[in-house]
Structure 1
């Protein structure tokens, strides 16, 4: 019996360690936020949909099964977002002041500490300088998952994207990460996005909305102002944009078309009804592989294009910008 007990102990210890290796854990402390909720989503499939973290007494903890490195995006109550990079079997500690979230610090893994250092570097510089620092970061760290996030954030998912520079940086990352399929996906995404380059005419398409109406690109080009918005029920920022665009449609500021990347058209109809959305929406259940998204070069989320008199004039306009324009009517 004495020999058996140590064997049982070490067996339990072994399986416990194996189990912890399949998880990623995040703990943190927020100054100036005693209670509340944070929202989480993942642009690369670490979690599905939108998740919630409870903040109590300024502290929070979150743990998920994790089989690969990836990105979680934390949405704070002021709608600002910050990335957290996951790794199997790792744990990170988050320290932040809710009134100065640009200075959030995440320790515990190399990727998160690199991102924390980058945040400090760009905390007080101008937007053009910030982009220069972002470009240099990717060149200095082409092997890092952080570089993938930074290319998306500064050169693709930006109101003034630089697709040529983004493609060059992705090629540098592929040299350091030749087996990374996500980088190849980003390259394909960039090629499709050229369909919605500012200055081009809105492409022709025909689509049937959830309300049963048929809409064409030719029809939309005849409107003075059109906004096409990509959204999902699990993405807080895109939902905010949907509700802002609903006000824009009510006040006659623009003709709006929403494209949901949710998998269930039935669930989307329910949400549209709950939010009293008055403009037409499309959901084919194909998520980001939908034909309309490919035609319009809208392969990310959230995303939008603004069309004036048939030509694409802006991309990724924020909800705050739309609200300001409505108020100035």
Structure 2
């Protein structure tokens, strides 16, 4: 009997330990929020928990599959919003003095480092910001914050710079979700430039049939990167339709790669905008393989490819695209 009880206690302790490893608690203070106001935790674009304000205080005790992760905290209408790194231990959130966006967060080492990062890059732009971000990643190669930054900036910094920083990172960072994204980028990226030959790839059209860019060899091709959720892309589409109709009988084609992850949204946008050219997507969002190959980090973007397969233009839009096509097709 004593043996059974002892084993039972071990199982209970293990169970408690496993639950604790998959949960975190957050106690928070706010300012001037009415009793009954709902706050929501959001992760991977999904609401994972909610809490109610009482006397400008709230508490979360939330289950997650892995730690650390970056989550968002917001009210129903996103008037109060912030994001931060959570870990599987008690944390504090104090927005009573500085407001929601600048709340003081305690108990999270990744968030402490994230604040250092934000201080270093505050007010910087362009190359100065890139330099500061690179230095942070170099200074803290074992932090989840650094590998997340590198996963976002890899296509901006380029393959070689990314590879240099990635090689210095810990095994944990390399095996993380962000590390896997970087590894895939390094495996696929070719970073073709003007004057280079295009890089072929294969992806599925809206009917599920695989199509290759090389199927359009012998034509002047605009390799267009876009998405249904991209406002600037949708705004440019009427101009692109007009240009396509003007030059399609002169050997001009468009091969459009979408960074959508939802097929219905993708197909609906094609129909709404009346886009009559070839469309493909692997529905992997910004981790789209064609985007990784070509190093696309912002959309809309495009490559103009000559009938000989040479890249002769990049990110051409509106009148600039028309002028280039007139030069080579007339």
Question: TM over 0.5, yes or no?
Answer: yes
The Cα shift of 1:116 comes to: 1.0
Extract unaligned runs of 5+ from structure 1: 1-10, 43-48, 232-238
Q: How many residues align?
A: 278
The Cα shift of 1:134 comes to: 1.7
**Equivalent of residue 159 in structure 2, options 160, 163, 183:** 163
Q: Give the distance between the partners of 1:314 and 1:33, measured in 2 at CA.
A: 49
Aligned to 1:109: 108
| Equivalent pair of 2:233/2:300 in contact (CA under 8 Å) | no
Give deviations 1:259-313, integer Å, cap 9, x for gaps: 3564xxxx6236633783544543557x4899x8269626999876421245286
Q: Give the distance between the partners of 2:263 and 2:142, measured in 1 at CA.
A: 38
Taking the TM superposition and a 5 Å limit, the aligned residue runs for 1:21-32 are: 21-25=21-25
Aligned to 1:65: 63
| Equivalent pair of 1:197/1:312 in contact (CA under 8 Å) | no
Aligned to 1:137: 136
| Equivalent pair of 2:110/2:145 in contact (CA under 8 Å) | yes
The Cα shift of 1:97 comes to: 5.4
Q: Give the distance between the partners of 1:59 and 1:314, measured in 2 at CA.
A: 52
Are residues 109 and 166 of structure 1, via their aligned partners in 2, closer, same or farther at CA, if it must alter by over 3 Å?
same
| Equivalent pair of 1:53/1:61 in contact (CA under 8 Å) | no
Secondary structure of the residue that 1:246 maps to in structure 2? helix
Taking the TM superposition and a 5 Å limit, the aligned residue runs for 1:228-267 are: 228-229=225-226, 240-241=229-230, 243-252=231-240, 255=254, 257-259=256-258, 262=261
Q: Which moved more, 1:300-309 or 1:185-194?
A: 300-309
Q: Which structure would you say has the larger Rg?
A: 2
Q: Give the distance between the partners of 1:97 and 1:312, measured in 2 at CA.
A: 50
| Equivalent pair of 1:28/1:93 in contact (CA under 8 Å) | yes
Q: Give the distance between the partners of 2:160 and 2:88, measured in 1 at CA.
A: 33
Aligned to 2:302: 306
Please provide the CA RMSD for this pair. Answer: 5.1
Taking the TM superposition and a 5 Å limit, the aligned residue runs for 1:84-103 are: 84-91=84-91, 93=93, 95=95
2:202 matched to 1:203? no
Give deviations 1:67-93, integer Å, cap 9, x for gaps: 432433649999xx9763333345353
| Equivalent pair of 2:42/2:71 in contact (CA under 8 Å) | yes
Q: Give the distance between the partners of 1:16 and 1:41, measured in 2 at CA.
A: 24
**Equivalent of residue 264 in structure 2, options 255, 264, 269:** 269
Secondary structure of the residue that 2:69 maps to in structure 1? strand
| Equivalent pair of 2:205/2:280 in contact (CA under 8 Å) | yes
Q: Give the distance between the partners of 2:33 and 2:314, measured in 1 at CA.
A: 36
Q: Give the distance between the partners of 1:52 and 1:314, measured in 2 at CA.
A: 41
2:169 matched to 1:181? no
Give deviations 1:81-110, integer Å, cap 9, x for gaps: 976333334535375757xx6x67543211
Are residues 166 and 296 of structure 1, via their aligned partners in 2, closer, same or farther at CA, if it must alter by over 3 Å?
closer
Secondary structure of the residue that 2:161 maps to in structure 1? helix
Secondary structure of the residue that 2:225 maps to in structure 1? strand
Extract unaligned runs of 5+ from structure 2: 1-10, 244-253, 322-330
Are residues 201 and 91 of structure 1, via their aligned partners in 2, closer, same or farther at CA, if it must alter by over 3 Å?
farther
Q: Give the distance between the partners of 1:82 and 1:302, measured in 2 at CA.
A: 23
Q: Give the distance between the partners of 1:72 and 1:97, measured in 2 at CA.
A: 19
Give deviations 1:22-43, integer Å, cap 9, x for gaps: 213556678899989989454x
The Cα shift of 1:173 comes to: 1.0
Q: Give the distance between the partners of 2:313 and 2:298, measured in 1 at CA.
A: 18
Secondary structure of the residue that 1:251 maps to in structure 2? helix
Q: Which moved more, 1:121-130 or 1:220-229?
A: 220-229
The Cα shift of 1:210 comes to: 0.8
2:175 matched to 1:172? no
Secondary structure of the residue that 2:256 maps to in structure 1? strand
| Equivalent pair of 2:69/2:87 in contact (CA under 8 Å) | no
Q: Give the distance between the partners of 2:172 and 2:13, measured in 1 at CA.
A: 37
